Amino acid sequence: MDLNELLVFARVVQSGSFTAAARALRMPKSTVSRKVSELEERVGAQLLQRTTRKLHLTEVGRAYYAHCERIVQEAEAAEQEVTRMQAGPHGLLRVTTPLSVPFLAPLVAGFLERYPDVQVELLCTDRAVDLVEEGLDLAVRAGRLPDSSLMARRLGDIARVVVASPEYLEAKGAPKTPADLAKHDCLLFGTALEGNVWTLHAGGRSVEVKVSGRLVVNEPDMLHAVTVAGSGVALLPGLHCVDDLETGRLQRVLPDWSSAGAPVHAVYPPTRHHVPKVMAFVEFLREHWPMRQEPLKRAKR
């Protein structure tokens, strides 16, 4: 089946002549006439009766046109929908993020407010997600990216900062230098109590401090919770602590020092044409990424 033949036939019927149809389709009149003749030959029936003044549908032609008209209308509607969706952010955006990224919540809320024609579905998981296989538009990933065919845009970094609860600092005192951390109950991230070294940076300087403690945690949210509960000093992702620093549930320890940040990227499948909803989300995250770090900067002063 040649859908072009159906389109030409429908335009001839709607225009009332081969000349008008050729003008609407921007093709030679001879091509329009040939397309209709080929269609009639393929279906094995005369669809139009041609006179010097006017075209008339045959009985078979009327039945055939009724179906062609619906097909052409659906095709035009499909093209208009694609054009509309490519004109601006629109439709469902499916995004996967790690589990422990609560700082993304206000950014997603801001994106939804700016783009009312977009709906967002968030899949929060720490497993490796195949974007193409699972039909996802984009992933936010922290840390070093493996080699892949995916496109990647760097959003920013998540620096880790040394924090503790006011209750802990009141009871044990605040470290004055990085070396003082060796004397404190440090909350360790990983799977072993031994061999924990924190690398801290400040103003071009870098130091390594071997720390120890009685509690090791392998899950970021739990490590954050026990820090707020006053169990010790922790090295936490700064963006996870913004609200706690603003409310005073946590305080910066050694505010001039921090650990090198993990890079955060938006990754998405390659495509010949940019998808507006995907690119709008990426650019929105890049535009607003530093916003949630302001309390960290204020905490240093």
Q: What is the pLDDT of residues 107-127, one digit of tens each?
A: 999 999 999 999 999 999 888
pLDDT score recorded for residue 208: 93
User: Is the Cα torsion angle 90, 92, 94, 95 positive or negative in sign?
Assistant: positive
Asked whether residue 175 carries a pLDDT value surpassing 70, the answer given is yes
Q: Is 254 helix (H, G, I), strand (E, B) or coil?
A: coil
Q: What is the pLDDT of residue 283?
A: 92
**Which residues, listed in sequence order, are joined to residue 94 by a DSSP beta bridge?**
121
Confidence of residue 294 (pLDDT cuts 50, 70, 90): very low
- pLDDT for 105 equals 86
Where residue 248 falls among pLDDT bands split at 50, 70, 90? very high
Average pLDDT over residues 79-105: 78
Say what percent of the chain tops pLDDT 90. Answer: 39
Q: Which residue has the higher pLDDT, 129 or 138?
A: 138
| Phi, psi of 3, rounded to the nearest 5 degrees | -65, -25
pLDDT of residue 285: 92
Residues with Cβ within 8 Å of 178's Cβ and at least 6 positions away in sequence, in order, are 198, 200, 207, 209, 254, 257
**pLDDT at position 13, please?**
87
Query: What is the model's pLDDT at position 295?
Result: 45
**Alpha carbons 159 and 220: distance in angstroms, whole number:** 14
Q: What is the mean pLDDT of the chain?
A: 85
The predicted-structure confidence for 54-72, as pLDDT tens digits, reads as follows 788 898 988 988 888 888 8
Given the structure tokens 């054009």, which residue do they identify? 83
Query: Which positions ≥6 away from 189 have C-beta within 8 Å?
Result: 216, 217, 218, 220, 223, 234, 235
Residue 169 vs residues 172, 179, 238, 244: alpha-carbon distances, Å? 5, 16, 19, 15
**Block residue for tokens 């001039």:** 256
Selected residue with higher pLDDT from 227 and 99: 227
Q: Which residues pair with 99 in a beta bridge?
A: none
Q: What pLDDT, on a 0 to 100 scale, did the predictor assign at position 211?
A: 93
Model confidence band, residue 2 (pLDDT cutoffs 50, 70, 90): low
Residue 80 pLDDT: 66
* Segment 257-287, tens digit of pLDDT: 998 777 889 999 887 556 889 999 999 998 8
Highest mean pLDDT among 10-14, 51-55, 224-228: 224-228
Is the per-residue pLDDT at 165 higher than 80?
yes
